[in-house]
Amino acid sequence: DVKVTQSSRYLVKRTGEKVFLECVQDMDHENMFWYRQDPGLGLRLIYFSYDVKMKEKGDIPEGYSVSREKKERFSLILESASTNQTSMYLCASRMTGTGSNQPQHFGDGTRLSIL
Amino acid sequence: GNSVTQMEGPVTLSEEAFLTINCTYTATGYPSLFWYVQYPGEGLQLLLKATKADDKGSNKGFEATYRKETTSFHLEKGSVQVSDSAVYFCALSRPGSARQLTFGSGTQLTVLP
């Protein structure tokens, strides 16, 4: 089974801090994703990476950056945390395949609170 | 653009009732369609998928059929259990950008004993 591991289940930080959320997958997947999940809004894509050192902006990249130095690890960075970034953050990975039918596999999420 | 519209929740059913959660989509081309489930305190798990028109995805008693003519992918189960209580998300993979998924807003299901 695919295992996607997020480093923290719960995290509390202060406004203005630099915050790192880490995600590791063990299936040699090329593609990795960061989403945030908010009530009534579903999942919104922040950034994704289709291979090592590659990154692309998703739908809501403002206030975030990412790093993918190794294939198995994808980090989300909040450069200067703000209260509107309080949310559940979900990491996912996916194998590259023909067509669009490869599913994404998700971690358990990090619930981040910015005070 | 691409979008997914899901039935508003929450949905509350008694055990052994029939479940339908509606999902319709807007997309250019031929997306793949997915249902994901999120149990309390966990991440999303793939429940089922369909990759072309008239395909039926099925898993754990849940089914959904890819209907291109009505741009729908409704989730059904004949007899729900308390353990099915979760949030269900419909999603499509974006044609031309196969790596990305567009999600609906999710439907909370509660099954009472």
Query: How long a stretch of residues is chain A?
Result: 115
Look up tokens 């203005």; give the residue: A16
A58:B95 CB<8 A = no
Q: Could you tell me the pLDDT band of residue A19, with boundaries at 50, 70 and 90? A: very high
Q: How far apart are CA A34 and CA A49, in angstroms?
A: 9
Kindly report the number of other CB atoms within 10 A of residue B26's CB atom. 13
Q: Spell out the per-residue pLDDT of chain B, length 113, in tens.
A: 788 999 888 999 999 999 999 999 998 878 889 999 999 888 899 999 998 899 999 999 999 999 999 999 999 999 999 999 999 999 998 766 656 788 999 999 999 99
CA nearest neighbour of A46 among A33, A55, A28, A29: A33
Q: Could you tell me the pLDDT band of residue A77, with boundaries at 50, 70 and 90? A: very high
Instruction: Calculate how close chain B gets to A109, using CA atoms only, in Å.
Output: 6
Query: What residue in A sits closest to B4 (Cα-Cα)?
Result: A42
CA nearest neighbour of A93 among A31, A5, A8: A31
Find chain B residues with C-beta within 8 A of A102's C-beta: 98
CA nearest neighbour of A2 among A111, A109, A85, A107: A107
Chain segment A52-76, per-residue pLDDT in tens: 888 999 989 999 999 999 999 999 9
One DSSP character per residue, B1-47 reads --EEEE--S-EEEETT--EEE-EEEE-SS---EEEEEE-TTS-EEEE
What pLDDT, on the 0 to 100 scale, is given for residue B95?
A: 60
Kind of pairing, strands A56-57 and A42-49?
A: antiparallel
Q: How far apart are CA A3 and CA A68, in angstroms?
A: 18
Q: What is the mean pLDDT of residues A90-108?
A: 82
Six token digits for residue B41: 């305190």
B42:A108 CB<8 A = yes
What pLDDT, on the 0 to 100 scale, is given for residue B17?
A: 97
What pLDDT, on the 0 to 100 scale, is given for residue B97?
A: 61
- Put simply, whether B42 touches A (Cβ < 8 Å) is yes
User: Is residue A99 predicted with pLDDT exceeding 70?
Assistant: no
Q: How far apart are CA A33 and CA A95, in angstroms?
A: 12
What pLDDT, on the 0 to 100 scale, is given for residue B99?
A: 67
Instruction: Calculate how close chain B gets to A42, using CA atoms only, in Å.
Output: 4
DSSP E strands in chain A: the ranges are: 4-6, 10-13, 19-25, 31-38, 42-49, 56-57, 64-70, 73-78, 87-94, 105-106, 110-114
Chain segment B96-109, per-residue pLDDT in tens: 665 678 899 999 99
Mean pLDDT of chain A: 92
Query: What residue in A sits closest to B35 (Cα-Cα)?
Result: A103
Instruction: Calculate how close chain A gets to B12, using CA atoms only, in Å.
Output: 17
Kind of pairing, strands B107-112 and B11-14?
A: parallel
B42:A109 CB<8 A = yes
- Put simply, whether B28 touches A (Cβ < 8 Å) is no
Residue from the list A90, A94, A107 with its beta carbon closest to the beta carbon of B99: A94
B43:A4 CB<8 A = yes
Answer whether A114's CB lies under 8 Å from A11's CB. no
What pLDDT, on the 0 to 100 scale, is given for residue A92?
A: 94
Residue from the list A31, A41, A109 with its beta carbon closest to the beta carbon of B99: A31
